[in-house]
Amino acid sequence: MTNVMSLSTHTTASGFLLPSIHSAPPFFTQQPNPGTQAIAIEQWTRLILTYARHRRLFVLRVEDAETTGNDWDEILRNERINRKLLPPYLSHILSAMVAKDLAVYEPPRQTRSVLLYWRSPDEWAETLHSWATATGQLNTILTFYDITDPPIESELTGIPIPLLRKAISILGKTGRAQMIGVADGEGVRLFAGGR
């Protein structure tokens, strides 16, 4: 008789395909063996980033592992095997992601909340520039609000301001963006220009 524990993938209510490792009970425990822990962290990192991309989530907080009913329930817990990621482990995973530039502590100087880079700031910079070009908004002044809440939903809809600011400063380095003070806060002017 084969009595092999079968780990299978699972599609969540939001339509996300969980990898089979998510149904392995020990996946939710911090591993004492450094080699094993490295592979577990790698799996968690990939899972967090792909899920964030799937749901367009930008922020993950340690407290998301402390409460239920938040955006991260589908991956931080697995009711089918009665396991959940505990806050200290999530905190450890977040620090590993920050160390690999796959996330950044936001706001800075705390370690309870991160901004996730499921796209790198460089990629966001290009996304912003392509969007402005495609929608004919080069050389005009755009407020941050124009970008984060455009009348026609874009890839940039809902982008957090700190991330937007990083993207603009990257474009600024190649002369493709200029920060401008506007009446109700900050704005930006984007220019064509070689990459």
Partner 1 sequence: MHRRGGVGLAAFDRQEQSNRSFAELSSALSRSQVEHLHSQLNQFRTALARFASTHRDSIRSDPNFRHAFQQMCSSIGVDPLAGPRKGGWWAEMLGMGDWQYELGVQIVDVCVSTRERNGGLIEMSELVRLVSKLRGVTGGGITEEDVVRSIKTLEPLGAGYQVVEIGSRKMVRSVVKELDEDQSVVLAIAQSEGGRIVEDILIHRTGWTRERARAALENMVHRDGLCWLDDQDEQYGRAYWVPSAMQWDL
Binding site for partner 1 (CB under 8 A): 2-9, 20-21, 24-29, 31-33, 35-36, 38-40, 82-84
Which residues, 6 or more positions from 28, have their beta carbon under 8 angstroms from its beta carbon?
Answer: 78, 83, 84, 85, 86, 89
Structure tokens at 161: 């301001």
For residue 179, the cross-strand partners are 188
Instruction: Quote the least distance from Cβ 3 to partner 1, whole Å.
Output: 5
Instruction: Quote the least distance from Cβ 192 to partner 1, whole Å.
Output: 45
Instruction: Quote the least distance from Cβ 5 to partner 1, whole Å.
Output: 4
Cβ closest to partner 1, residue 3 vs residue 184: 3
Structure tokens at 166: 């990083």
161-173 vs 121-134: helix crossing angle, rounded to 10? 80
Instruction: Quote the least distance from Cβ 51 to partner 1, whole Å.
Output: 18
Cβ closest to partner 1, residue 86 vs residue 182: 86
Cβ closest to partner 1, residue 75 vs residue 188: 75
Which residues, 6 or more positions from 116, have their beta carbon under 8 angstroms from its beta carbon?
Answer: 48, 49, 52, 57, 58, 59, 60, 97, 102, 103
Cβ closest to partner 1, residue 59 vs residue 96: 96
